[in-house]
Amino acid sequence: MIQSYLDKDSGQMRFSVYVNIRSTNGGGRLQKRKNNLKTQAEALRAEAQLTKECQRELWQRENTGQVWKNVVDKFEEFLLSAKAQNLKETTRIDYIASIRRHCNHWNSKFVGDISLADGHELFSDLTKKGLSQGHQKIIKAVIIRVYDFAAKHRLISPMIICPMHSFKFPKQEDKLPEILNLSQIRTLMTQAKNLKHEWYPIWAVALLTGMRNGELHALLWEDVNFEDKLIHVTKSYDTRTKRTKSTKAGYWRFVTISPELEALLRELKRSDPDRPYVLPRLSRWDQGEQAKRLRQFCGGIGLPSVRFHTLRACFATQLMKQGVPPIQVMKVGGWKDLDTMNRYIRLAGIEITGTTDSLKVLPESVAFAKAVDLIVT
């Protein structure tokens, strides 16, 4: 659009040009203006030039998408809306926090201009900062989610493929997970009880039930059935949102009460009969410091420094070592992931028990001598 106007300073007629072009393919719109043009012919040339510039910029937007910050802003808005309620609140918070914390140097980049080289640079930097590969894989997955969201909502061209699909993490050595053997478990419990440690009943119930931290925190006496010797696990406490929610697996389950656990529970009931919760309320527990407290205590008594969740792994491995079928352990512990259970099977060593008993490769005299040495020692 070209308009004429009277310039107040010079008293002469001048022309202004305004161009407004809207994209039909997710690029938004662009507006450009130019004033103080002396002739209509100059205004026509300026209009043509501004139109070309808008078209070129819109074409770039349509093929590279909006800048990263704009897309992340819209992604956050989506996550906070009712449309994303299929994701847990903490998951949505973590998605946005990880993207804004680690990818803000992309804010002014067009999404389509972010390359595989940018991905290598990002994850190399995160490795130098000490982030675990597991944490980095989560960040990669969230970046891919952002691209999927942007394409679905026409913020970028559907032809743009997230470069992170092509990024491969270096293969890592399969490290032995944290675990305590039976002797170490007994040392932990004996020392904690003798010292009357405030966390003793929490650690003990964790080891005897395999319940998750949040499930233990939310456990009420109304969930304990002494007559049928069952604990009904239906809920979990979230230390971040300070709310009680469903269990991690999303369904209820029963945990059987062993004689050892029954004695402990009855002692807890006698110690504070009016408390609705099975386990004592500790301020450090409310603040989510259960892993820190266990690590400190284990280190102080000469045991491997393990996190709180390791008690759940100890529960699983000890049951399987005693011959409990893995499928039953999964039901009692609320595991749905077979990969996790397979790790516990490996830790327990039950899949290889007895596999070498049939080997007989040494001369009989040597084998007999070895047997005698073992008996004597």
DSSP 176: P
User: DSSP states of 204-222 as a string?
Assistant: HHHHHH---HHHHHH-BGG
Angle between helical axes of 68-79 and 133-152 (0-180°, round to 10):
90
Tell me the C-alpha distance between 47 and 30, whole Å. 14
Predicted pLDDT at 147: 93
In the block, tokens 């299929």 appear at: 86
Predicted pLDDT at 192: 96
Q: What is the pLDDT of residues 154-206, one digit of tens each?
A: 888 788 889 999 999 988 766 667 889 999 999 999 999 999 999 999 999 99
Alpha helices by DSSP H, listed for the chain, are 40-64, 68-79, 89-102, 116-128, 133-152, 182-194, 200-209, 213-218, 259-271, 283-286, 290-300, 310-321, 326-333, 338-348, 364-376
Give 276's Cβ-side CA count (13 Å radius): 1
Q: How confident is the model at residue 352 (pLDDT cuts 50, 70, 90)?
A: very low
Q: Please check the confidence at residue 238 and state whether its pLDDT lies above 90.
A: no
**3-class state of residue 230 by DSSP:** strand
Candidate from 9-18, 23-32, 289-298, 326-335 with smallest mean pLDDT: 23-32
Q: What is the mean pLDDT of residues 361-370?
A: 60
Tell me the C-alpha distance between 170 and 129, whole Å. 17
More confidently predicted of 29 and 99: 99
Return the structure tokens found at 231: 């604990």
**Share above pLDDT 70 across residues of the chain, in percent, rounded to a whole number:** 85
Predicted pLDDT at 360: 64
Give 58's Cβ-side CA count (13 Å radius): 20
Q: How confident is the model at residue 357 (pLDDT cuts 50, 70, 90)?
A: low
Q: Provide the β-strand partners of residue 2.
A: 17
Q: Please check the confidence at residue 296 and state whether its pLDDT lies above 90.
A: yes
Contact indicator for 49, 36 with CB cutoff of 8 Å: no
> Which pTM value belongs to this model?
0.65
Per-residue exposure over 332-355, b if at least 16 CB sit within 10 Å of its own CB, e if not: bbbbeeeeebebbbebbebeeeee
Predicted pLDDT at 248: 72
User: DSSP states of 315-371 as a string?
Assistant: HHHHHHHTT--HHHHHHHHT---HHHHHHHHHHHTTTSTTTTTT---S-HHHHHHHH
Of 35, 34, 31, which is closest to residue 9 (Cα–Cα)? 35
In the block, tokens 């996550």 appear at: 79
Q: What is the pLDDT of residues 219-236, one digit of tens each?
A: 999 999 999 999 999 999
The number of residues making up the chain comes to: 377
Tell me the C-alpha distance between 72 and 104, whole Å. 10
Q: Provide the β-strand partners of residue 254.
A: 232
Return the structure tokens found at 107: 């804010």
Tell me how far CA of residue 54 lies from CA of 28, 60, 111, 112, in angstroms: 11, 10, 19, 18
Give 272's Cβ-side CA count (13 Å radius): 11
Q: What is the pLDDT of residues 36-91, one digit of tens each?
A: 888 999 999 999 999 888 877 776 666 566 789 999 999 999 988 866 667 777 88
State the amino acid at position 48 in one-letter form.
A
